[in-house]
Amino acid sequence: MNKFKYLLKYGIKKRLGTKAFLISNIVIFIALLGILNLPNIIAFFDNNEGTTLKVSVYDETNKSIDTISILNQYGDTFVSMLPNTTIEFIEVETFDKEAIEFNGANAVVHLTMSNDLLKADIYKDELEVLQENIIVQILSQYRINVWSIDKTDAEKALVDDFLAPLNYQIISEEKDTATRDLILSVISMFIAIPIFIMLIMSVQFVGIDIIEEKSTKAIEYVMSTVPPQTHFMTKILSSFAFLVTQSLLIVLYGLIAGFISTKILGASGTGMSVTEIIGQFTETDATIIKDVLKALPMALTWTLLFTIIGGLFYMIFMATLASMSTSMEDFQSFQSPFMFMMMIGFYASIFSVYMGDSIVLKVIGYIPLFAPIVAPTLFMSGVFSVVDTIIVFVLLLGSTVAIYYFLTPIYKASILSYDESGFFKRISKMFKRSKEA
């Protein structure tokens, strides 16, 4: 037990007390800061012509005010929130709420009065969440213009009416969960990046640590003092401790980067930071953000569980590959197919935001080798139900336990082997040797 504790402590110190750990954390922090300011970055570098957001307006307020001109003025003010996008309000002469005609417009707005305050019914077609949010903000500003018409100074002093929020409703044939799933899928895409980085770093540490001991022949001394299974466990657990520590640090970096994005860069940039966008959601559609916040804890819990078990799954594989290698070059060639498979899972999680409910993604998500990265993303985007996620997690957990018991004998047989035959031939030899032991 004392030897186990010593090796575990030594392994943790070796991973957390290096310059590589410091440099990698600096890179992760910079990456998170960049992600939280992605709209600002896009706005700074992209000078191409963008798209035009067209909004048809039917005005039944009966107020003597140039509605379209004012709305377009406010649109020019808010356009910086959508890089390379312009907003154009167009007046229409007819309106039938039973048969909405968009005629190329992204939304149709019906303006009426309710208790001397502006009321807006927004019918949307191919309208993104952020675009919807900006239209509401423009109409909220326009509400003040309508309210102040024909008001005396005493009436304008009625602060309650002046500060009253816009009375509006979004009308769409989409399901109520569509917007929630969209927001969660975008969040999952951002989460997939640091998760992938952590998994890559943790599995790399396991493999490199073992191959360093083998290449310097230090492994022979270690194996003379502790059994191979103990050595196997300490390597995995020390990297697992790194994975947990790094996860907590990334949460901290995210909070710091979010503060910088909101208070410093978001305030001075020409774009709109991600944290500001989320803040705007909370102001404009409490129902959507309430649904997101309600679903987020379970989504993050599943993400954490898949990261932990998936990390163990990958570490067991990497440790076994390293035990069969005789040099760093040997190890790099052995791990290339494994790293390629991890990359497939990473890109599948990223593209899940755009592919939606795809049977290909579902199949990939059920495969334990890809599940640690793909399954949480599919759950957040609504492709996986709770039942699907539980099934995938059980499969991943069972696979992790199975490969541990299956690969431990191979690790014992290969950790002191310096066989330099081909990859598949070497695997065959180690498998046969593990059966004989």
Q: Would you state the structure tokens that stand for residue 214, as one six-digit string?
A: 């083998």
Tens of pLDDT, residues 13-25: 766 777 777 887 7
**Residue that the structure tokens 């005609």 belong to:** 101
Q: Which residue has the higher pLDDT, 354 or 76?
A: 76
CATH number for the domain that contains residue 167: 3.40.190
Q: What is the pLDDT of residue 269?
A: 42
Alpha-carbon separation of residue 183 from 41, 43, 195, 264, 287 (angstroms): 20, 21, 19, 24, 13
Q: Which residue has the higher pLDDT, 340 or 164?
A: 340
Measured in whole angstroms, how far is the alpha carbon of residue 39 from the centre of its chain?
A: 16
Q: What is the pLDDT of residue 116?
A: 76
Residue 111 has pLDDT above 60, yes or no: yes
Q: Is residue 373 part of a domain?
A: yes
Quick one: 415 and 430 in the same domain? yes
Quick one: 214 and 157 in the same domain? no
The rounded percent of the chain whose pLDDT value lies above 90 is 3
Sorting pLDDT into bands at 50, 70 and 90, what band is 154? low
Quick one: 62 and 203 in the same domain? no
Quick one: 286 and 407 in the same domain? yes
Average pLDDT, the chain: 75
Domain range for 371 is 2-36+179-436
Q: What is the DSSP letter of 165?
A: P
Q: What is the DSSP letter of 151?
A: -
Question: Where is average pLDDT lowest: 154-163, 209-218, 335-344?
Answer: 154-163
Q: What is the pLDDT of residue 155?
A: 61
Give every CB contact of residue 417 below 8 A, 6+ residues apart in sequence: 324, 430, 433
Which of 130, 158, 174 terminates a domain? The answer is: 174
Residue 35 has pLDDT above 60, yes or no: yes
Quick one: 333 and 310 in the same domain? yes
Which of 110, 142, 174 terminates a domain? The answer is: 174
Quick one: 209 and 290 in the same domain? yes
Question: Where is average pLDDT lowest: 27-31, 195-199, 291-295, 364-368?
Answer: 291-295
Alpha-carbon separation of residue 290 from 124, 174, 251, 294, 295 (angstroms): 21, 18, 22, 6, 9
d(CA 329, CA 412): 22
- Residue 120 forms beta bridges with which residues? 111, 168
Helix (H) or strand (E) holding 264: none
Give every CB contact of residue 134 below 8 A, 6+ residues apart in sequence: 78, 81, 82, 87
Tens of pLDDT, residues 221-242: 777 777 888 888 888 888 778 7
- Closest by Cα among 393, 318, 311, 380 to 349: 380
Alpha-carbon separation of residue 367 from 101, 240, 374, 389, 396 (angstroms): 45, 22, 9, 12, 8
Q: Is residue 41 part of a domain?
A: no
Which of 122, 148, 174 terminates a domain? The answer is: 174
Quick one: 93 and 24 in the same domain? no
d(CA 62, CA 222): 87
Quick one: 170 and 194 in the same domain? no
Q: What is the pLDDT of residue 163?
A: 67
Q: Which residue has the higher pLDDT, 37 or 52?
A: 52
d(CA 409, CA 36): 46
Sorting pLDDT into bands at 50, 70 and 90, what band is 304? confident
Residue 131 has pLDDT above 80, yes or no: no
